[in-house]
Amino acid sequence: QKEVEQDPGPLSVPEGAIVSLNCTYSNSAFQYFMWYRQYSRKGPELLMYTYSSGNKEDGRFTAQVDKSSKYISLFIRDSQPSDSATYLCAISSLGRLYFGRGTQLTVWP
Amino acid sequence: EPEVTQTPSHQVTQMGQEVILRCVPISNHLYFYWYRQILGQKVEFLVSFYNNEISEKSEIFDDQFSVERPDGSNFTLKIRSTKLEDSAMYFCASRPDQTYEQYFGPGTRLTVT
């Protein structure tokens, strides 16, 4: 079942670039949207959580949700080499999370 | 900052053996989850647990799997008779009552030989 689609990349950008990561989903019942960062062989680390359409900002990170298009995005401003990781979108109705495949990001100095 | 912990970090077992993976969720959280991630694949939901019972399980979570909260702090996943295809990272997650964001532990890497 392709509940959540995410381009796996890899994505390689220079330090300071703006990064855009995206996911689409199929089920309009999904209400809760999360972005996780995962380093190799580690657990997903929650970055952003939102439940409404529009933008939510936290430091250099902005999460954007468009429920009408079933499209979510994560923007990273002024990207740093320490941002190099795999970014996972995760979407939920009331319980289980449905994850995208993850986008592997490398920020080079 | 409170976090989910998991033990062991790596478990190697032979096919057909039983394994128990352990998790300590964040202390005031009420909902608990197990997910797994086969190398190179998506993180997949296994089971959710609330109020001492399973609230939802996936098609992966068959009779070989069971979960338990044996005391007020631990949450365990048991695989009765491991298969080669059970080799994966297993993640425990928990969430509080009023919101839906889930916090993950560092994972247990299970290798079945």
List, for residues A15-72, the tens digit of each pLDDT value: 999 999 999 999 888 889 999 999 988 899 999 999 888 999 999 999 999 999 999 9
Give residues with Cβ within 8 angstroms of B57, minimum separation 6. B46, B47, B48
Which pLDDT belongs to residue B99? 86
Comparing alpha-carbon positions, the chain B residue that sits nearest to A5 is B42
Mean pLDDT, rounded, for B80-91: 97
Q: A99 at the B interface (CB within 8 A)?
A: yes
Comparing alpha-carbon positions, the chain A residue that sits nearest to B50 is A95
Per residue in A85-107, pLDDT (tens digit) is 999 999 997 789 999 999 999 99
> Using CA atoms, how far apart are residues B23 and B6, in angstroms rounded to an integer?
4
pLDDT(B6) > 90: yes
> Using CA atoms, how far apart are residues B59 and B72, in angstroms rounded to an integer?
28
Please report the residues numbered 51 through 70 in chain A whose beta carbons come closer than 8 angstroms to any beta carbon of chain B: 51
pLDDT(B103) > 90: yes
Which pLDDT belongs to residue A30? 87
> Using CA atoms, how far apart are residues A94 and A47, in angstroms rounded to an integer?
19
Q: How confident is the model at residue B29 (pLDDT cuts 50, 70, 90)?
A: very high
Comparing alpha-carbon positions, the chain B residue that sits nearest to A2 is B42
Q: B102 at the A interface (CB within 8 A)?
A: yes
| Partner residue facing A95 (CB), from B43, B56, B101 | B56
Which pLDDT belongs to residue A8? 86
> Using CA atoms, how far apart are residues A27 and B108, in angstroms rounded to an integer?
31
Cβ pair A43:B105 closer than 8 A: yes
Q: A43 at the B interface (CB within 8 A)?
A: yes
Cβ pair B106:A98 closer than 8 A: no
Comparing alpha-carbon positions, the chain A residue that sits nearest to B3 is A45
For strands B10-13 and B19-24, give the pairing. Answer: unpaired
Which pLDDT belongs to residue A1? 54
Within 10 angstroms of residue B86's Cβ, the number of other Cβ atoms is 20
Please report the residues numbered 55 through 74 in chain B whose beta carbons come closer than 8 angstroms to any beta carbon of chain A: 55-56, 58
- % pLDDT > 70, chain B: 100
Q: B25 at the A interface (CB within 8 A)?
A: no
Which pLDDT belongs to residue A28? 86
Cβ pair A96:B42 closer than 8 A: no
Tokens of A82: 């320490």
Which pLDDT belongs to residue A88? 97
- % pLDDT > 90, chain A: 80
pLDDT(A108) > 90: yes
Give residues with Cβ within 8 angstroms of A7, minimum separation 6. A22, A103
Residue A48 in contact with residue A74, Cβ under 8 Å? Answer: yes
> Using CA atoms, how far apart are residues B70 and B52, in angstroms rounded to an integer?
9
> Using CA atoms, how far apart are residues B105 and B25, in angstroms rounded to an integer?
8
User: Count of A–B CB contacts within 8 Å?
Assistant: 58
